[in-house]
A and B are shown apart, each in its own frame.
Chain A
Amino acid sequence: MKQHVELRNHPAELHKFRFRLSVCAGFVLILFLILYARFYYLQVIQQEHYYTLAEANRIFISPLVPNRGLIYDRSGRILAQNYSAYTLEVIPSQIEDLETTLNKLAEIIEITPTDRQRFKKLLKESKRFKSLPVRSRLTDEEIATFAVNRYRFPGVEIKARVLRQYPEKEIVSHIIGYISRINDQDLEQLERNGELHNYRGSQHIGKIGIEQSYEKQLHGIAGFEEVETDAAGRSIRVLSRTSPVPGNNLILSLDLGLQEAAEKAFGERRGALVALDPNNGEVLAFVSKPGYDNNLFIGGIDQENWNLLNGSIDRPLNNRALRGVYPPGSTFKPFMALAALELGKRSPEYSMSDPGYFSLPGVDRRYRDWKPGGHGRVDLHKSLVVSCDTYYYSLANDLGIDNIHSFIGQFGLGKRTGIDIEGEVAGLLPSSAWKMSQYKQKWYAGDTISVSIGQGYNLATPLQLAFATMIIANNGKAYAPHLVKQIQNSQTGEVEDIPAKLLYSVYMKPKNLEVVKNALVDVTRPGGTAAKAGANAAYAFAGKTGTSQVIAIKQGERYNEKAINERHRDHAMFIAYAPAENPKIALAVLVENTGTGGSTAAPIARQVFDYFLLGKPAEAAVAQLSEPVADHDHEHL
């Protein structure tokens, strides 16, 4: 058989191939000889040199961790800062019996059960030769006591560290996020990005929120020091030093006073509020209630607190403003109204008689208005002021889902707004193509009916609703929402503005916009669904109420009946901007399980507007931002 094959294989060609293969083999041999020569050079000729170097690899290049940039609100109030403190740290690989050592340590320095829990969790997650904190913020007394007993504790050290602190805790936790200890995944990520060397020595990295998305700005550039050490690894003297470059400071567009006012207005209720500046997309307030104490995560959260936060029925870790999707309810109607006018399906003058329900031609099923008996004769203006459902049912049928999808899509619903923190979800603005690909079902006319009043396959985040409201407020300009307003260079103190980014413009006829905007103002006046919230306002504002139905509660959860009922209640919604002429603020409010938008969500918006437009309480006067603010002095710690 072989004979046969070789005959067919053109001996000349085989010969040529074998010749080429030999050339390659020769080449490989040469490369291996080069390698061998290199080894010989390093290991025989230069052996002594390198051996000395290894022995004295007591010239330790020790990284200097840069100070992390600070975070301020727009008026210079501090949201994330650094402080230096002494921590008691342990290198597990240098200790034979950790438990005994900890017990002995506890005799001279207070170590609480929480400290122990947190340390155990850290131990599991970290490499054994890494220094791990047992306690932080040691007092002078404790430091002195340890110094006397130090000889008893090899592998235990007191270290000066710069630690992070979030003074505002819950109030801004969903914006700022937190830093936490660098884990294996972070390391992998850093390695892939070629940034690992810049984190040699760094213990923390931004995990969520601004701390994560602006990690590059905040972290700074590591410096290094060539330190000579003795045989035991203690440093003797510094040979050379390159200072680290501290991270840049961030100045947010957030108005902490406004944020606090909004928090106060919510009280103990759950929900979210996003307020944007319609002139540039700056985020003025960004509330997700409840928040959580983000300081807990910095040193590694202990199991007990983690269970409390993660297991809570109120889900404080969930960023409702960014990631919570809710049916927009009647807040969807202004966009439907604009679609009707712009696509010529309705004129402002057209009116219909509302019997309190709507039926599709030839179908018996009745879609009911929220008001039994209906609203009588309803035109577009009235449909918004009293929030008539029937008007939109019939409009939906004339528009069709794909017109709704493409027109209202321009307001950013169903898409991420691209805000400068990560984790945003897209919500859902359905189309017939979407339903086909999702459920392999055709779109029914009845589906459009529910979508028209913001129910059914219709989901939006509070951030998206604020974004959409902004586009109405400023007559069609879609500015990218952003939280960071300015970046202050840590070294020069120069402040660089982050310019407003106009993503695109939505073209709408001025007279159509005027019709809708006038109606939205009347929503907050006597006769409107938000009349109570609008009473006695010193300025005119525009808004739209909404109610978002809670569809189901998860099976098998263990709440008492009262709680279940409470959580079955509808969510209240309100979108608004103020002042009605020349708006300075546009927002969306969501209050979970409290019923209608007019009664609970709109009053919150009113309080926020009052604070923003009528002046801030005197005690909120704040330190102005002038010089560079990072505390550069701690670099060496």
Chain B
Amino acid sequence: MTEIKKIWHFLTRYVDSFLLIGILALMAVGLVVLYSATGANIARVSNQMVNMLVALVIMWLVANIPLQQMMRLALPMYILGLVLLIGVALFGEINNGARRWLNIGVTRIQPSELMKIAIPLMMAWYFDKHETALRLRDYLGAAVLLLLPVLLILRQPDLGTAILITASGFFVLFLAGLSWRIIAGLGITAAGSLPVFWTVMHDYQRKRIITLLDPSQDPLGAGYHTIQSSIAIGSGGVTGKGWQNGTQTQLDFLPEQSTDFIFAVFSEEFGLMGNTVLLLLYLLVIGRCLVITGNASTQFTRLIAGSITLTFCTYIFVNMGMVSGILPIVGVPLPLISYGGTSMVTMLLGFGILMSIQTHPKLVKT
């Protein structure tokens, strides 16, 4: 009896059950939709279950890492990520145009994925070091830390990831107290440099934006995605067409149904009611993350928790926005729902950090 108790204690000690339940609920929704989206393909669904299990184990491991250790990881992880990104730029495998993967003998890796966690960790660590008196040049230093990898990722080119990583870094800057005047200045500069940005963008990126404004421009390519996913969502109505009854999905009008566009499948089959439930589930998880962030005790933990939480929100917004036709199509998965192992692991790694922050004794700074 006591043995079991011990094991139970060992397993659950550093797990935040509130957060875990939210995550599991979303995963369950994901599996149900995936079953329908793949045309009852059991192999695909069990594959995803394996992805989830692996990600959960990684989350548990991360949750068990004490915060001091986590801080120590920030700098090496960042440097490793940066070296790998430079490696990609120099020796990466080119797939006609894009250079995102690095072959390291045993396997191929995508270092930009590592950066999604390494950037917030590094920046949070940086601000934690400079906590006492934050001056402008501290922010500039942080901006350099952020821009270096972002530029490398932009060069690959991988706009979607670059945007997400920029966002995660900006969240740290913002939460660390970047002055409103500078934020306003950045906003104005960004708006002003849009025309410049337009000219340096790749053709396919420009095309995606034109397509957003007028989907009929490219009915076989990106426009086709937007048209078909809007039809799927809209035709679902309030109650939805029922599980496995979505005509857009089952007749194969929807592209990428199991990955980036899986939300359209959900929306078609479960309608506005389903969407409401899904958004509430997401809000529940986000709410819990915000509570954890608010209670975090040190500058480091606050910033890292805040950045992870807000990046999670960004994923949700960007994905749902693109599927419902209010944002251009960038390859961003719907967190915890879309098919695929990499993003699942990245997400749960983040949640692992949050759990560690919540469950470990609060840090005492010396």
Contacts and interface: CB of A to CB of B under 8 A. Distances in A.
A42 interface: yes
A133 B95 CA distance: 30
B263 to A, nearest CB: 10
Contacts of B276: 36
Given A40-B272, A200-B220, A224-B220, A9 B237 contact: no
Interface in A34-64: 34-36, 38-40, 42-44, 46-47, 49-51, 53-55, 57, 61, 63
Contact of A24 (B97, B306, B320): B306
Contacts of A8: 364-365
Interface in B201-247: 204, 218-222, 224, 230-238, 247
A222 interface: yes
Nearest to A54: B235
Interface stretch (A15-23, A365-373, A466-474, A578-586): A15-23
Nearest to A221: B220
B306 A21 contact: yes
Contacts of B248: 54, 57
A192 interface: yes
B364 A5 contact: yes
A197 B310 contact: no
Nearest to B131: A13
Interface string B91-109: 0000111100000000000
B247 A43 contact: no
A504 interface: no
Interface stretch (B4-12, B45-53, B292-300): B292-300
Given A17-B175, A24-B171, A54-B235, A35 B306 contact: no
Interface stretch (A25-33, A293-301, A337-345): A25-33
B320 A35 contact: yes
Contacts of A2: 297, 362
Interface in B293-326: 293-294, 297-299, 302, 306, 310, 313, 317, 320-321, 324-326
B253 interface: yes
A49 B234 contact: yes
For A5, A25, A54, the residue with the greatest tally of chain B CB atoms inside 10 Å of its CB is A54
A39 B267 contact: yes
B235 A51 contact: yes
Nearest to A127: B39
Chain B residues touching A, range: 35 or more
A4 interface: yes
> Is chain B's interface secondary structure helix, strand, loop, or mixed overall?
helix
A17 B298 CA distance: 11
Contact of B219 (A5, A9, A224, A233): A224
A35 B317 contact: yes
Give the secondary structure class of A's interface: helix
A563 interface: no
A189 B93 CA distance: 12
Interface string B328-366: 000000000000000000000000000000000111110
Contacts of A189: 95
Given A1-B364, A20-B177, A43-B275, A129 B98 contact: no
A53 B286 contact: no
B73 to A, nearest CB: 22
B200 interface: no
A31 B327 CA distance: 12
B42 interface: no
Nearest to A34: B326
A479 to B, nearest CB: 24
A1 B364 CA distance: 8
B279 interface: yes
Contact of A17 (B171, B253, B290, B302): B302
A61 B174 contact: no
A5 B251 contact: no
Contacts of A44: 237-238, 272
The residue in A8, A24, A233 that gathers the most chain B C-beta atoms within 10 A of its C-beta is A24
A237 to B, nearest CB: 18
A292 B277 CA distance: 60
A21 B364 contact: no
B271 interface: yes
B233 A53 contact: no
A222 B220 contact: yes
B219 A61 contact: yes
A152 interface: no
A233 B275 CA distance: 30
Interface in B69-96: 95-96
Interface string A202-239: 00000000000000000000101000000001000000
B252 interface: yes
B190 interface: no
A128 interface: yes
A51 B320 contact: no
Contact of A57 (B231, B297, B299, B321): B231
A1 B231 CA distance: 56
B216 to A, nearest CB: 11
Q: Which of B237, B293, B299 has the most CB of A within 10 A?
A: B237
B361 to A, nearest CB: 7
A24 B310 contact: yes
Contacts of B326: 34, 38
Interface in A410-468: none
A560 interface: no
B219 A21 contact: no
Interface string B245-260: 0011001110000000
A626 interface: no
Interface in A79-96: 93
B268 to A, nearest CB: 8
B95 A193 contact: yes
A557 interface: no
A47 B219 contact: no
Contacts of A21: 175, 290, 293-294, 306
Interface in A87-145: 93, 128-129
Contact of A53 (B177, B234, B293): B234
Nearest to A31: B317
A615 interface: no
B29 interface: no
Contacts of B290: 21, 25
Which one of B171, B177, B235, B247 has the greatest number of beta carbons of chain A within 10 Å? B235
Nearest to A28: B313
Contacts of A32: 279, 282-283, 317
B324 A39 contact: yes
The 10 A-B pairs of least Cβ separation, nearest first, read A50-B234, A54-B235, A197-B221, A42-B234, A50-B235, A43-B272, A47-B237, A51-B235, A193-B96, A197-B220
26 contacts: A1-B364, A2-B362, A4-B364, A5-B362, A8-B364, A9-B297, A18-B294, A21-B306, A24-B175, A24-B306, A24-B310, A28-B310, A31-B317, A32-B279, A35-B324, A39-B324, A43-B238, A43-B272, A44-B272, A47-B235, A54-B247, A57-B247, A61-B220, A193-B98, A197-B218, A224-B219
Interface of A: 1-2, 4-6, 8-9, 13, 16-18, 20-21, 24-25, 28, 31-32, 34-36, 38-40, 42-44, 46-47, 49-51, 53-55, 57, 61, 63, 93, 128-129, 189, 192-195, 197-198, 200, 222, 224, 233
Given A9-B298, A50-B230, 20 more contacts: A1-B364, A5-B298, A5-B364, A5-B365, A21-B175, A32-B279, A35-B317, A36-B275, A42-B233, A42-B234, A43-B271, A47-B235, A50-B231, A50-B235, A51-B237, A57-B231, A57-B247, A57-B253, A93-B39, A192-B98
